[in-house]
C-alpha cells in the first residue's frame, strides 16, 4: 500500500502543528525529494536548502508567520520556507520568467517580509522591525535566519552591536552554521563556530566547578560567587560562545540542526525569553543528496539542470566562459608577476580564482562575505608593494564603493578589481544584475575601467591593469559563454587610449560604439542597417573609462553616434560621450542604448534583453527609424 504524501497536506505553516513525529520525519524526507526533483530541472540553490529542511520546519512550528516575520540571510536558503507557505506549485518555474523568485519576494507571499538576496543585511532588518514593533506596543517576535557565511560580513556585526544595546527586543537569531558560504567559511569567527561544534568542555567544566565548590561547608557559596565573577575568563578559554554573551545576547547551542525535536524545544524557549536570543544550529549543506554531500567544491551550492540521481550536469559545457578566461589570465599573470596576489570575498571558485589559488596557495586571500574589507585590505596589500586583484560579482562591488573611492583611489593605490557577472544576469533577479558598476565607478577620480569584447581583449586588459601602480583599474565581463574573437580592421591610439574599429563602411555617417559583451551586437546592428541601405561603422574601445581622446575624435566625424552598453543608460558611458562631444561643440547626435533605471524581474538573460529592446533587431529598427525621421529635416544621414 502506497504511503500517503504528507507534503500534499501542507497548505500553510499551521498545518505543521498537527503532525505526529513520524509524519514530520516523513515530511522532511518528502521535502528533500521534492527539492532534488524540482531544482534539478530548473537549476537553483540546491545545497543550502537541503541543509535547512528540519530547521525551517521547526521555525514554522514555533513561530506564527507572517505575524512573526521570518527573514532569511542569505535569501537563497528560503526554498523550504516557500514550500511550507503554500508555493509548491510554483517550483516548476523556479527562477524563470513569471515563476517563483529564487529569493524571498514580498510580491509572492505575505510570509516574505524582505526581498533579500545580498548577505549580511537581515540582522539590521530584524533589529529595525523588532524595535518598531516594540515602539508600537505589538507583541510579535522577529526571527532572522543567518547562514551560508553571512556572519562574516561586517554589517551583521554592526547590527549585533545595536541588538546587544536593546535587551527588550523580541528577536531570535537562528545561526545556520553549515561551515560554508559557497565554499568552507573562512576567518576568525568561522574558526570560533567550528570550535563550538567539537568542544564540549564548557558546560561540563562549569557544572563540575559549581558542584564541587558549592559543596564546601560555610565558604562554598561565597567562593562560588567569587569564581562566578571570573566566568568570562573561563568561557573565553573553553568556548567561543562567550563572544555572544560578552555582547549581552542570550545564547543557546550548538544544536543538531537536523534534530527536529531539539530544534523545536530550543526555539520555543527562545521565543518565550522575550529578549534577543541566538540559537546556534549546526547543519549539513546538501544533506540527503549523496552527490551534493560528496561534492567537495561547494556541495551543490547553486546548480544548473542536473541529473536528479547522479547530480551530473544534463548538458556538457562545450564552450568556455568569461570566468574561465579570467582564471587562465590570472594563472598566467601569477607565473609572470610574483607580486600579483588574489583576493576573494567568499567566492573563490565562482569568480575563477580557484585555479590561481591552486597554483599559488600563499598568494590568495579569502576574506569572507566582506567586500568592503576586501577592497580596503587590497589597498594595504598594494601599499606594501604587491598588486592585488580583487575578484567580485559586479553587483557586489556596489557594497564597496566607499572603499574604492576613499581607501583605494584617494590613496592612489594600484589595485585591480575584476567584475564577473557584469550586465544582465537574469535568473537571480533584480539584485544580481551587474548594471550599476560603470555608472558608479565613473564617479571615482583616476579610475580606469575596461570592458573587453573577447578573450584576447580580456588578456590585454589584465596585462595593462596589473602594470598600473598608482590607480584603481577595473575589468568587467559577462557571465555568458565567451564569444568568438572579434578582430579589428584598424585602430586609433594605444594602451588605455586605444579604440578598435571592427567595421569600416565607406562613406558611413553613423558610428556604432559597442562596449564589452555588446560589441558583437554592435556589428550585427551595423550589418542589419547595411541590409537596409544605411552604412555604419563600428568601434570598440577596450577601456570604457575614462573616455579616450581618440574615441571622442572618431565620434566627432560622424553625424550619428549609437552607443551600446550592458549597464545603466543613466550615468553610463554613452551619456558621458554625448556630454564630451557637446563640450567640444560637436553637433553629432548620440543615441544611447543600455539598461533603464529600474529594477528588473527575473528571467533568462535573453528574455530580459528582449523586453528592454536590447537585441540587434530591435536596436537596428530604432536606429533606422531615427535615420528615416531625420532625412526630411537633414540631408546628412540618408539611406544609400
CB 346 within 8 A of CB 186: yes
pLDDT confidence tier of residue 351, bands split at 50, 70 and 90: very high
CA dihedral 266, 267, 270, 276 (to 10 degrees): 130
Q: What is the mean pLDDT of residues 252-264?
A: 91
pTM for this one?
0.80
* Fold topology of 63-82+101-199+240-288: Rossmann fold (3.40.50)
Residue 515 reports pLDDT greater than 80: yes
Please state the rounded mean pLDDT for residues 27-43. Answer: 88
pLDDT at residue 621 tops 80:
yes
Three-state SS at 491:
strand
Q: How many residues does the chain have?
A: 640
Q: How confident is the model at residue 203 (pLDDT cuts 50, 70, 90)?
A: very low
What is the structure's pLDDT at 289?
66
Whole-number pLDDT of residue 120: 82
In angstroms, the CA 406 to CA 31 distance is 48
Which range has the worst mean pLDDT, 141-150, 260-269, 410-419?
141-150
Whether the predicted pLDDT of 18 surpasses 80: yes
> Smallest Cα–Cα separation from 64: which of 3, 151, 138, 149?
138
* Order of strands, sheet of 499-503, starting from the edge strand that comes earlier in the sequence: 490-492, 499-503, 536-541, 510-514, 560-568, 589-595
Report pLDDT for 223: 45
Residue whose C-alpha is closest to residue 93's, from 30, 45, 38, 48? 38
Q: Is 70 exceeded by the pLDDT of residue 372? A: yes
Phi, psi (rounded to 5 degrees) for 545: -130, 140
Span 607-621, mean pLDDT? 95
Q: What is the pLDDT of residues 283-297, one digit of tens each?
A: 888 786 666 666 665
Provide the pLDDT for residue 200.
Answer: 45
pLDDT given for residue 75 in this prediction: 79
| pLDDT attached to residue 563 | 97
Q: What is the pLDDT of residues 140-168, one digit of tens each?
A: 999 999 876 677 778 888 888 888 888 88
Q: From the options 3.10.450.630, 3.40.50.720, 2.70.98.40, 3.40.50.970, give the CATH code of 322-476.
A: 3.40.50.970
Task: Provide the strand spans (E) within 331-454.
Answer: 340-344, 364-366, 387-393, 416-420, 448-450
Q: Tell me what percent of the residues of the chain surpass a pLDDT of 70.
A: 82
pLDDT at 126 over 70: yes
pLDDT at res. 295: 64
Residue 234 has a pLDDT of 33
- Find which of 232-236, 433-437, 586-590 is predicted with most confidence, using mean pLDDT: 433-437
Task: Give the pairing type, strands 536-541 and 499-503.
Answer: antiparallel
505-631 matches 322-476 in CATH topology: yes
Cell for 552?
571622442
CB 460 within 8 Å of CB 128: no
Domain range list for the chain? 63-82+101-199+240-288, 322-476, 505-631
Strand ranges for 44-110 from DSSP E:
70-73
Q: Answer whether residue 360 shows pLDDT above 70.
A: yes
Q: What is the pLDDT of residues 312-346, one digit of tens each?
A: 777 665 578 999 999 999 999 999 999 999 999 98
Q: How confident is the model over 539-556, as a mean pLDDT? A: 96
Residue 470's alpha-carbon distances to 38, 379, 387, 548, in angstroms, are 50, 11, 10, 19
Q: Residue 117 has what pLDDT?
A: 63
Pairing state between β 490-492 and 499-503: antiparallel
Q: What is the mean pLDDT of the chain?
A: 85
Read off the C-alpha cell for 344: 576573494
Per-residue pLDDT, 244 = 65
Report how far residue 423's alpha carbon sits from residue 419's, in angstroms, rounded to the nearest whole number.
Answer: 10
pLDDT tier for residue 298 given thresholds of 50, 70 and 90: low
- Nearest residue to 24 via CA among 257, 207, 235, 261: 261
Q: What's the half-sphere exposure (Cβ side, CA atoms, 13 Å) at 462?
A: 29
Catalytic site positions: 285, 371, 399
Cα separation values, 592 from 453, 501, 580, Å: 18, 19, 14
Which residues 6+ apart lie within 8 Å of 545 measured at CB?
A: 438, 441, 442, 447, 448, 449, 474, 573, 576
* The domain defined by 505-631 carries CATH number 3.40.50.920: yes
Beta strand spans in 195-308 (E): 250-256, 277-282
User: Which residue matches cell numbers 540618408?
Assistant: 638
Bridge partners of 564, per DSSP, are: 514, 593
Tens digits of residue pLDDT in 208-247? 544 554 555 555 544 444 333 333 333 333 344 556 666 6
| Residue 429 predicted with pLDDT over 90 | no
% of the chain exceeding 90 in pLDDT:
61
pLDDT band at 206 (very low <50, low <70, confident <90, very high): very low
pLDDT for the residue numbered 199:
44
What pLDDT score was predicted for residue 310?
A: 67
Tell me: pLDDT of 521 over 80.
yes
Amino acid at each position: 500500500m502506497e504511503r500517503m504524501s504528507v507534503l500534499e497536506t501542507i497548505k500553510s505553516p499551521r498545518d505543521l502543528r498537527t503532525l505526529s513525529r513520524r509524519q514530520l520525519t516523513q515530511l522532511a524526507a518528502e521535502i528533500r525529494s521534492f527539492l532534488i526533483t524540482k531544482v534539478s530541472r530548473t537549476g537553483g540553490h540546491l545545497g543550502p536548502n537541503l541543509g535547512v529542511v528540519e530547521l525551517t520546519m521547526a521555525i514554522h512550528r514555533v513561530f506564527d508567520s507572517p505575524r512573526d516575520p521570518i527573514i532569511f540571510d542569505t535569501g537563497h536558503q528560503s526554498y523550504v520556507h516557500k514550500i511550507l507557505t503554500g508555493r509548491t506549485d510554483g517550483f516548476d518555474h523556479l527562477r524563470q520568467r513569471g515563476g517563483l523568485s529564487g529569493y524571498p519576494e514580498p510580491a509572492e507571499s505575505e510570509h516574505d517580509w524582505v526581498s533579500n538576496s545580498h548577505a549580511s543585511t537581515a540582522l539590521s532588518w530584524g533589529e529595525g522591525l523588532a524595535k518598531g514593533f516594540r515602539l508600537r506596543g505589538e507583541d510579535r517576535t522577529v526571527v532572522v535566519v543567518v547562514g551560508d557565511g553571512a556572519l562574516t560580513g561586517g554589517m551583521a556585526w554592526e547590527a549585533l552591536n545595536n541588538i546587544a544595546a536593546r535587551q527588550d527586543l523580541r528577536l531570535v537569531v537562528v545561526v545556520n552554521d553549515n561551515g560554508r558560504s559557497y565554499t568552507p567559511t573562512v576567518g576568525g569567527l568561522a574558526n570560533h563556530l567550528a570550535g563550538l561544534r567539537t568542544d564540549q568542555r564548557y558546560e561540563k567544566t562549569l557544572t563540575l566547578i559549581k558542584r564541587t565548590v558549592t559543596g564546601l561547608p560555610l565558604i562554598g557559596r561565597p567562593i562560588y560567587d567569587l569564581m562566578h565573577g571570573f566566568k568570562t575568563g573561563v568561557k573565553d578559554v573553553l568556548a567561543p560562545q562567550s563572544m555572544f554573551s560578552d555582547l549581552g545576547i542570550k545564547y543557546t547551542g550548538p544544536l543538531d540542526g537536523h534534530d527536529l525535536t531539539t530544534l523545536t524545544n530550543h526555539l520555543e524557549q527562545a521565543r518565550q525569553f522575550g529578549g534577543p536570543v541566538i540559537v546556534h544550529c549546526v547543519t549539513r549543506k546538501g544533506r540527503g543528496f549523496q552527490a551534493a554531500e560528496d561534492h567537495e567544491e561547494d556541495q551543490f551550492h547553486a546548480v544548473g539542470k542536473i541529473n536528479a540521481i547522479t547530480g551530473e550536469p544534463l548538458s556538457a559545457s562545450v564552450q568556455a566562459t568569461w570566468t574561465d578566461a579570467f582564471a587562465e589570465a590570472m594563472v598566467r599573470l601569477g607565473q609572470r608577476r610574483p607580486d600579483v596576489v588574489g583576493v576573494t570575498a567568499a567566492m573563490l571558485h565562482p569568480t575563477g580564482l580557484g585555479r590561481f589559488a591552486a597554483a599559488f596557495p600563499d598568494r590568495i586571500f579569502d576574506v569572507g562575505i566582506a567586500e568592503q574589507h576586501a577592497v580596503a585590505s587590497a589597498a594595504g596589500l598594494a601599499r606594501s608593494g604587491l598588486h592585488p586583484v580583487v575578484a567580485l560579482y559586479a553587483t557586489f562591488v556596489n557594497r564597496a564603493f566607499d572603499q574604492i573611492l576613499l581607501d583605494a583611489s584617494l590613496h592612489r593605490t594600484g589595485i585591480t578589481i575584476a567584475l564577473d557577472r557584469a550586465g544582465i544576469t537574469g535568473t537571480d533577479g533584480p539584485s544580481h544584475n551587474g548594471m550599476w558598476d560603470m555608472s558608479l565607478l565613473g564617479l571615482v577620480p583616476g579610475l580606469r575601467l575596461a570592458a573587453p569584447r573577447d578573450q584576447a581583449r580580456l588578456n590585454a586588459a589584465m596585462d595593462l591593469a596589473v602594470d598600473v601602480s598608482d590607480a584603481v583599474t577595473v575589468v568587467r565581463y559577462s557571465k555568458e559563454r565567451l564569444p568568438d574573437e572579434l578582430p579589428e580592421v584598424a585602430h586609433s591610439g594605444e594602451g588605455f587610449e586605444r579604440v578598435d574599429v571592427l567595421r569600416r563602411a565607406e562613406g558611413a555617417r553613423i558610428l556604432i560604439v559597442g562596449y564589452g559583451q555588446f560589441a558583437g551586437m554592435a556589428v550585427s546592428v551595423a550589418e542589419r542597417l547595411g541590409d537596409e541601405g544605411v552604412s555604419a561603422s563600428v568601434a570598440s574601445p577596450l577601456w570604457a573609462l575614462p573616455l579616450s581622446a581618440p574615441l571622442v575624435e572618431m565620434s566627432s566625424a560622424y553625424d550619428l553616434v549609437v552607443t551600446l552598453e550592458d549597464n545603466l543608460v543613466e550615468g553610463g558611458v554613452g551619456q558621458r560621450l554625448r556630454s564630451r562631444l557637446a563640450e567640444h561643440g560637436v553637433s553629432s547626435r548620440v543615441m544611447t542604448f543600455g539598461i533603464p533605471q529600474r529594477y528588473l524581474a527575473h528571467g533568462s538573460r535573453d528574455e530580459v534583453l528582449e523586453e528592454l529592446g536590447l537585441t540587434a533587431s530591435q536596436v537596428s529598427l530604432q536606429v533606422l527609424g531615427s535615420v528615416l525621421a531625420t532625412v526630411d529635416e537633414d540631408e546628412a544621414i540618408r539611406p544609400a
